[in-house]
Structure 1
Amino acid sequence: MSETPLPGGFVNAVVRVGDTVRRVPGPRAAFVHHLLRLFERHGWAGAPRLLGLDEQGREILCFVAGHVAWEEGQPDDVTSDESLARVAGLVREFHDLTAGTALAGDGEVVCHNDLSPKNTVYRDGGAGLRPVAFIDWDIAGPGRRVHDVAHVCWQYAGLAPGADPEEAARRVRVICDGYEAAGRGAVVRREVVPGVLWWQDRCRRGIEADARAGLPHAVRLRAAGVVEQVRAAHDWVARHRGVLERGLS
């Protein structure tokens, strides 16, 4: 069958073949495969199903139909409060599914560690586009709930230069409220903004280190100006930290 390249990937070439997606397994493929099978056993539809490996050794995943928000300009539905709350609810669902499992190890849960609109599939069920699944689980691993929540706040609430601090703080609160409403127990809100800053610093340093080592994906990211963008986002959050934290108190 013919192969159609799918857009958006900096690290891995991904193609669609019929109703499947093919991609080269990442270095932590065994862990990710166990995780995807756990989701399947529980009937959770928020991640692709793993179907095996093809003759080239690539992963075969079911194609999750919908709108992937990988471009900068997006429909209003993608950035609506309803979508923010549903993103947080989906995160809560897979966190709760993995809490206490062998995959979570010493962590609270398994974290996705790369949640963003670009790794989210949206679908219109009659009330506008809403998130239905996350893709690209390559760097998932044991962690704390607040780590993923902080990453969601950074990526989905638009915590970067050009944002209105008060509106950004309100959107962060919508995310935290949505996470808490989807399960029992609260997120540690005092750790959310420090978690955003930690992620931004870690991301920038990671790209810089990998680019110096000559890793192709990091070289491309650096050339695209991502290091400067992340540094600017970190500076923006640090400058408006008080507003963001007051919005969560």
Structure 2
Amino acid sequence: MDGEPLPGRVTSGIVRIGDTVRRPVGPWTDSVDALLTHLHRVGFRGAPRPLGRDEQNRQVLEYVPGTLGDHTGTYSLPELREIGAFVADFHRAVADFTGPTVWNRVIPPDREELVCHHDVAPWNLVRSPRGWVLIDWDAAAPGSRLWELAYAAQSMAGLRPDRSPEEAAERLATFVDGYGLELPQRTTLVSMLVRRARAMYDLLRRGAEQGDEPWATIWVTDGEYWRTTADYLDQHGNVWLRALMP
């Protein structure tokens, strides 16, 4: 049985078979499996369980039923607070992880203090019967809490040019309050929002120039979005700061 391709923008070769997901193996897959095993061992339920390899040497993961979000950031304020707390739970759960060191390092982070997911966004967040669950851990690698939080806040709260800065600021503050970010770090987060968005734009631009997939394809649909979003985040830094500081 070859399996059922999953909907949405997913990596080539990923299929569902029954209550499992099968995906191609990379040099980093053993590290990802070790990370997911650790998360379940410490009681974090917001990630799929690793189930080994199949006869085609594909990674086998638990299939988590539920619904995915979309890129528009349509979560309610109470949901944003929940998701912020969920990301904080993940960071606490992974803080003492030590394991393999081969990772799929897509974008260099500002610094390395713990292993991050690196794509905490609505399209990877399942609203499941057991609560929020993050999927697609292939880009997991060392990073920093603020690096991850900047990307997650922008995507989950929907900080984008077609949303008024005032509404976006309220959503940002709700997400960050849910995470429980300490006050001294909030000023740094404001500048990190811009830096992280520009890093995503640069990744796609380089991918297009060099013909690297999937970035070259994503550049066509998302390149302009990341450029204008980075500019938007930069232009309204004072609005974000006022919302984040009491």
Q: Same fold per TM (> 0.5)?
A: yes
Following the alignment from structure 1 to structure 2, what is the Cα–Cα distance between the partners of residues 239 and 195? 13
Matches of residues 101-112 of structure 1 in structure 2 within 5 Å? 101-103=97-99, 107-112=112-117
Does 1:245 find its partner at 2:237? Answer: no
Residue number in structure 1 paired with 2:144: 144
Which deviates more from structure 2 when the two are superposed, residues 114-123 or residues 9-18? 9-18
1:3 touches 1:17 (CA, 8 Å); kept in 2?
Answer: yes
Any idea what SS the aligned residue of 1:216 has? coil
Q: Which amino acid is 1:248 matched to?
A: L
Paired residue for 1:230? 226
**Corresponding residue number in structure 1 for 2:199:** 202
Distance 2:162 2:224 in 1: 15
Distance (Å, rounded) in 2 between the aligned partners of 1:37 and 1:187: 33
Q: Identify the residue that residue 122 of structure 2 maps to in structure 1.
A: 117
The share of aligned pairs that are identical, in percent, is 34
The alignment partner of 1:148 has SS state of helix
Whether the aligned pair in 2 keeps the contact of 1:122 and 1:132 (CA below 8 Å) is: yes
CA apart distance, 1:40: 1.7
Preserved CA contact (<8 Å) 1:211 1:218: yes
Contact residue 180 and residue 187 of structure 1 kept, 8 A: no
For 1:1-249, list aligned pairs within 5 A. 1=1, 3-70=3-70, 79-103=75-99, 107-123=112-128, 132-180=132-180, 188-224=185-221, 226-249=222-245
Cα 1:215–1:171, aligned 2, differ >3 Å: closer, same or farther?
same
- One-letter identity of the residue aligned with 2:165: P
Structure 1 unaligned regions, length at least 5: 126-130
- Give the conservation status (yes or no) of the 8 Å contact 2:122–2:156: yes
Local SS of the residue matching 1:215? coil
Cα distance, 1:233–1:46 mapped onto 2, change above 3 Å: same
Task: Count how many residue pairs are aligned between Structure 1 and Structure 2.
Answer: 236
* Matched residue type, 1:217: P
CA contact (8 A) 1:104 1:110 kept: no
Q: Is the 8 A contact 2:16 2:22 kept in 1?
A: yes
Distance of 1:63 and 1:45 partners within structure 2: 13
Where 1:91 maps in the other structure, the secondary structure is helix
For residues 60 and 240 of structure 1, what CA distance do their matches in structure 2 show? 44
* C-alpha distance in structure 1 between counterparts of 2:53 and 2:151, whole Å: 31
Listed as ranges, the gaps of 5+ residues in structure 2 are: 102-110
Distance (whole Å) between structure 2 residues aligned to residue 157 and residue 164 of structure 1: 12
Give the TM-score normalised by structure 2: 0.87
One-letter identity of the residue aligned with 2:79 = S
Is residue 53–residue 60 contact of structure 1 (8 Å, CA) maintained in 2?
A: yes
Rounded Cα–Cα distance in structure 1 between residues aligned with 2:58 and 2:114: 28
SS of the residue corresponding to residue 61 of structure 2 reads strand
Q: Structure 1-normalised TM-score? A: 0.86
Q: Let me know the Cα RMSD of the aligned residues.
A: 2.3
Alpha-carbon shift at residue 186 of structure 1 (Å): 6.1
